[in-house]
A and B are shown apart, each in its own frame.
Chain A
Amino acid sequence: MKALPEGKSLGWMQAPASWIDSHTVRFIGVVRVVIQDGEGFILIKKGKPLFYYFRQGTIELKGHTALDYFNSHPVIEFNLCKYTPDELAWAMKLCNIEDHDRVLPKGPVVPGPVSTEHSPPARTAVPSVAQPARDTGIPVTIVIPTPVPTINKTPVVSGKVSWEYLPSSGPADSTVAKPARETRIPAEVSPPVPKVEKRAVVSGPVSTVHQPPASTTYPSVANTVGDTKVPVVAPLPVPGVEEKGVEPQPGVSDDPEVTILSQIRDLNGIVALAVFNDSRTVTMMGDADSEVLVTIARKMLETAKKMKPLRTWGPFVHMTIQIPAGNMIIAPYQDNYLCLLTTRVINIGHIRRILRDIQQRGAPLRE
């Protein structure tokens, strides 16, 4: 497998995935996306997304599945890399995308009568042809665009290419996403339902044959401390799945602090939160054993407090420990400490933003 062309990096950004759609009207190139341990890209030609791809471990997402995963994050980190026409052509070739704009001339090449037979609109007849991926022998479904009744100077190509989720048949890109190992994901495993945002990204008919990832590399989250079963249950962090393991708790008071905490708890990906100090747990919300949660949080705090030689750096702002099942965060909160347990849908950037929000809402963090 060959790598996608590097392109010319225009810089790294943190923004919602929707930002990419609305700010790449003239952009030709690849947007390299990094989310937690996974990487992917969006191949874009003048605002038209041609290919979405994401890989985390052995899981590969393509097409709308990958897009849904990008959209499931409030903010993603990405690098805009500009392509020359040749680089784009090469990238499209690697992704098995036909470049109709390059192939077809603007005017009719062969003079003669134009057939006026009715051709069914592309939306109604989209025969899919399984083509072997380059040198892998793994079928990749490409929806061949059918003729459109009207004659256009430029061919209609947007959204005609459909990329199913096909394990181990990723595009040749060793830079952003290395070729999949020979890992077949068993189809019979019941897949999680991905979060699908009602948001059109590609302006044409798109076939969305979808086989979501059926297995993950994440370990079970029910953990044990010693012999104690820890009910710190973060839902399996499957890409694209909106996870909310917290039931609203009755009797939320009008106390502004409780309101702020409730709002944090209700954020997507937050499993539980606790406010604690050295001697007791002040507040506990969410689906976790408060004792175990706070015990672990205190261990983290102990580490943070031991970082004495770094005091010249100022007070510690926050500490996050990221394990395959999720994140555990502690931060000074008023006279106490705040502890958050989250799923993997929240990344470091998101955590930092949440903590900044808390500060702006008048709950200053302190050490």
Chain B
Amino acid sequence: MSSSADNTEIQQEVQAFLDGRRQRIVSRTGGWFPGKGVFSHGYSMLDELVGEKSYFQILILNATGRLVERPLADWVEAVYGCLSWPDPRIWCNQIGALAGSARASVVAGTALGVLATDARSYGVLPLIEGVGFIQQALKKHQSGLTAEDILQEATSARGGKPYIVGYIRPIAKGDERLVVMEKIAKKLQIPVGPHLTLAYEIEKLLLEKYQEGMNINGYVSAVLSDQGFSAQEIYQMFACLVASGVTACYLDTFKQPPESFLPLRCEDIDYQGTASRPLPDFILARQ
């Protein structure tokens, strides 16, 4: 098989492009040049960032390319605090606890717990949908739809159920983190913009109609949308959101006897499969 003749020219350009990057890094972010400095998005890290800006300002810079003011970085840090609970019943934390019990390393346990939050039902991945919802909702609102219209449209698309990412939460109704984060936002003078205002309107309607409220995802999505971040940037900003809670759960079990975290007897597995059976004749016949 050969390439189509029509594409020969572009393919030669592609190969030249690739050849230009063999043993050569072209970065649009930064890098370390021994003796000269370390650079991130145009800043000299050791002269302008380390010791001058907070770790979370640097984290947001590396995740989005934007150097935000300290109050917003402190607010993001508080969100990380809200997701650092040392409760091993939470699925990502339990991976840390199992890793400690099985004597995997703390780095493995923490990293694997973080990996688990790339999940559809909880964690960091749903931020993309949560941000997408509130940003789309505001566009619709600005083009004339009311919060009620938006809620109606969203629930209709979900079979009449209010399963909107950013609202409703597994295990519990309500979210105790909202009040805390609102207090912190007030103290840090993080403004309430149009996304958050609409998010509250939608929550009010949800409470009235379904007795369901906003969750931390919905609140974070709205606040950071008001700060001009995209869904992907917000997802990137919270890549390691649960790490600290996972580490805590790892250590809890690592310091206890191995195999003693939620041990299972054989009978604790509810076997629902095929009954015992002999190997089929076509397998036995070939011996």
* A and B form one complex: no
